[in-house]
């Protein structure tokens, strides 16, 4: 049985993208008020303009262009930039490149960074760079990310350690490090890192991360009060406060204070990051009574929110497409591949795509149960039983949570069915259903019964009719669109006379 993304709990854990992409999203702007210089220095630009007008040569044009660029007065030197770009100007490549930028003719920067090089190539590039610039903390962090994508946790942690030692107070580095340690199943370390950083108490982005991670480690946050103060102080722009408001809103939700949570989520949506939008999208599944506007979902990098939104509205193909983009954006995360593979295999019966997604997700998370499980489901559904068995054997059953145990039993059952061992399969599905008693497992139980019935039908067994009836009965009143889709499929399946 394929596993779906557990939406019971979501914390607004910092996203971890490469530096360039993170900067392009505006998350690394200064939060402080601008400092006026004590004196206004001279820029001598007029003299340089006069010199250029008189000489009209490459050196004078380049010198002027560079100075104007530094001063933010590019518009005054467009003629010099045009001159530099003429074929015979004699200007250097660097000057031509700057002239192109000044004239706005630079091709749009591919900030998406969505796989132009593979992680190994990027590691090679970054290592070369760090050979020349060993103090470049951002390059260390970017390299840690590539190692995380390749499931090389020790190397990722080592590179991140150097990055954090070089710049222990930097927002990008601290948030990235926190995210890595959560990925490496060490949220306590992520929390500790934020607690000890001197910059955390004055930076709403770091306070937000600390509050979210304290929820994860189930410890009281040290910055709840400070965070509330930041929200009401009026000294930060709404964008700088969006994740803080989301973190506090989640905290209020956990405490059952829905009214406060709603208020805070509304504040988070004033000028949100895509992570805040995704957090609200998650909160919507808990009947919070707030709304996301279409504009929110159109935000750059809102892949997760769009994938989930499409899922809840039954737009399966779109949800799958967004899952791919989500996975490419957060390749070390298991969540996009879990969600995408579930949509592919359950809603679209596209097992090949389900396999591709899970295999990609397993690159960074080779031991993730849900990914291994969904891969087994896809492989078995395509008749690749041997591979499915091999993959299934990699699962460490002892470490499974009760709900994952239900999934495990059902998938084991599936493998028996597909291997022609109907009785063993039936027994395992029954065990799964038995284990999924109680309200928290309601959805899981419905799925297990439906998939059991589907396997009986697929096996053309004598029991198929009875199990089908049982599954339809057990799933009465199911409101989730994916369950309804499965029920439709089950209803339309013919049983043997």
Q: Which residues bind other proteins (CB under 8 A)?
A: 19, 23-24, 26, 28-35, 37-39, 41-48, 50-51, 54-55, 57-60, 62-63, 65-72, 90-95, 97-98, 101, 129, 132-133, 135-139, 166-167, 169-170, 172-173, 199
Q: Looking at beta carbons only, is 166 or 217 nearer to other proteins? A: 166
CB 100 → other proteins: shortest distance, Å?
Answer: 10
Distance, CA of 140 to CA of 127 (rounded, Å):
9
Tell which residue, 388, 387, 386, 407, has the closest CA to residue 397: 407
Q: Identify the CA nearest to 86 among candidates 111, 61, 54, 119.
A: 61
Which C-beta is closer to other proteins: that of 46 or that of 434? Answer: 46
Q: By C-beta, is 93 or 218 nearer to other proteins?
A: 93
- Looking at the Cβ atoms of 202 and 423, the one nearer to other proteins is 202
* CA dist., res. 454 & res. 217, Å (int): 40
Q: For residues 64 and 415, which CB has a smaller minimum distance to other proteins in the complex?
A: 64
Residue 36 vs 232, nearer CB to other proteins: 36
Smaller CB distance to other proteins: residue 66 or 153? 66
341, 2 contact by CB (below 8 A): yes
Rounded CA separation 408/372 (Å): 10
Least distance in angstroms from the C-beta of 14 to other proteins: 16
In whole angstroms, give the CA distance from residue 22 to residue 31: 15
d(CA 208, CA 185) in angstroms, rounded, equals: 20
The distance of closest approach from Cβ of residue 133 to other proteins in the complex, given in angstroms and rounded to an integer, is 4
CB of 54 to other proteins, least distance (A): 5
Q: Report in angstroms the alpha-carbon separations of 417 from 346, 391, 411.
A: 18, 17, 10
Which one, of 334, 335, 336, lies nearest residue 366 by Cα? 334
Nearest to other proteins of 139, 379 (CB atom): 139
- Looking at the Cβ atoms of 180 and 376, the one nearer to other proteins is 180
Length of the chain (residues): 497
Q: Minimum distance from CB of 437 to other proteins (Å)?
A: 53
Taking the least distance from each CB to other proteins, the nearer of 24 and 431 is 24
Q: Which two tokens stand for residue 4?
A: 């779906």
Shortest Cβ 207–other proteins spacing (Å): 16
- Opening angle at CA 459, ends 497 and 478, nearest 5: 85
Rounded to a whole number of angstroms, the minimum distance from the CB of residue 121 to other proteins is: 17
Q: To the nearest whole angstrom, how small is the minimum distance from the Cβ of residue 235 to other proteins?
A: 12
- Rounded-to-integer distance, Cα 380 and Cα 387, Å: 8
For residue 238, the minimal CB distance to other proteins (Å) is 16
Residue whose C-alpha is closest to residue 406's, from 431, 377, 388, 378 = 431
Q: DSSP letter at 303?
A: H
String of DSSP letters for 10-78: ---PPP---HHHHHHTTTTS--SPPPPPSS-----HHHHHHHHHHH-SHHHHHHHHHHHHHHT-GGGGH
Tokens representing 277 are 């939008």
Neighbour-count burial of 339, counting CB atoms closer than 10 A to its CB (0-12 exposed, 13-18 middle, 19+ buried): buried
Q: Smallest distance, Å, CB 95 to other proteins?
A: 5
């Amino acid at each position: 049985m394929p596993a779906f993304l557990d939406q019971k709990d979501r914390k607004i854990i910092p996203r971890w993208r490469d530096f360039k992409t993170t900067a392009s999203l505006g998350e690394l702007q200064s939060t402080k008020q601008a400092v006026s210089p004590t004196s206004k220095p001279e820029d001598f630009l007029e003299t340089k303009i006069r010199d250029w007008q008189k000489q009209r040569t490459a050196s004078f044009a380049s010198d002027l262009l560079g100075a104007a660029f530094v001063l933010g007065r590019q518009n005054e030197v467009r003629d010099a930039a045009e001159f530099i770009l003429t074929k015979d100007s004699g200007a250097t490549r660097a000057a031509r490149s700057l002239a192109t930028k000044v004239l706005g003719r630079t091709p749009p920067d591919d900030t998406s960074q969505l796989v132009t090089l593979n992680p190994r190539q990027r590691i090679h590039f970054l290592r070369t760079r760090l050979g020349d610039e060993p103090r470049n903390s951002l390059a260390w962090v970017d390299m840690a990310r590539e190692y995380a994508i390749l499931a090389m946790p020790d190397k990722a942690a080592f590179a991140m350690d150097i990055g954090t030692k070089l710049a222990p107070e930097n927002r990008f580095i601290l948030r990235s490090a926190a995210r890595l340690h959560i990925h490496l199943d060490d949220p306590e370390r992520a929390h500790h890192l934020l607690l000890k950083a001197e910059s955390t108490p004055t930076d709403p982005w770091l306070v937000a991360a600390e509050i979210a991670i304290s929820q994860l480690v189930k410890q009281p946050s040290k910055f709840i009060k400070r965070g509330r103060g930041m929200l009401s102080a009026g000294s930060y722009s709404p964008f700088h406060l969006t994740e803080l408001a989301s973190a506090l809103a989640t905290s209020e939700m956990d405490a059952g204070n829905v009214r406060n949570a709603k208020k805070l989520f509304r504040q988070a949506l004033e000028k949100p990051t895509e992570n805040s939008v995704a957090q609200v999208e998650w909160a919507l599944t808990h009947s919070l009574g707030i709304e996301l506007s279409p504009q929110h979902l159109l935000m750059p990098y809102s892949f997760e929110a769009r994938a989930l939104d499409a899922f809840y509205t039954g737009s399966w193909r779109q949800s799958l497409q967004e899952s791919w983009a989500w996975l490419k954006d957060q390749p070390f995360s298991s969540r996009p591949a879990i969600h995408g593979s579930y949509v592919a295999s359950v809603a679209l019966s596209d097992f090949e795509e389900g396999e591709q997604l899970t295999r990609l997700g397993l690159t960074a998370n080779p031991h993730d149960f849900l990914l291994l499980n969904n891969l087994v489901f896809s492989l078995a559904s395509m008749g690749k039983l041997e591979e499915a068995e091999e993959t299934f054997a990699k699962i460490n059953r002892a470490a499974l949570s009760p709900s994952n145990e239900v999934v495990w039993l059902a998938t084991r059952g599936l493998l028996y069915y597909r291997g022609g061992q109907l009785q063993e399969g039936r027994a395992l599905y029954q065990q799964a259903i038995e284990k999924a008693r109680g309200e928290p497992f309601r959805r899981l139980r419905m799925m297990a019964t439906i998939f059991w019935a589907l396997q009986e039908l697929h096996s053309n067994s004598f029991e198929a009719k009875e199990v089908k009836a049982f599954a339809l009965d057990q799933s009465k009143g199911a409101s989730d669109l994916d369950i309804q889709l499965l029920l439709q499929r089950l209803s339309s399946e013919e049983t043997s006379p």
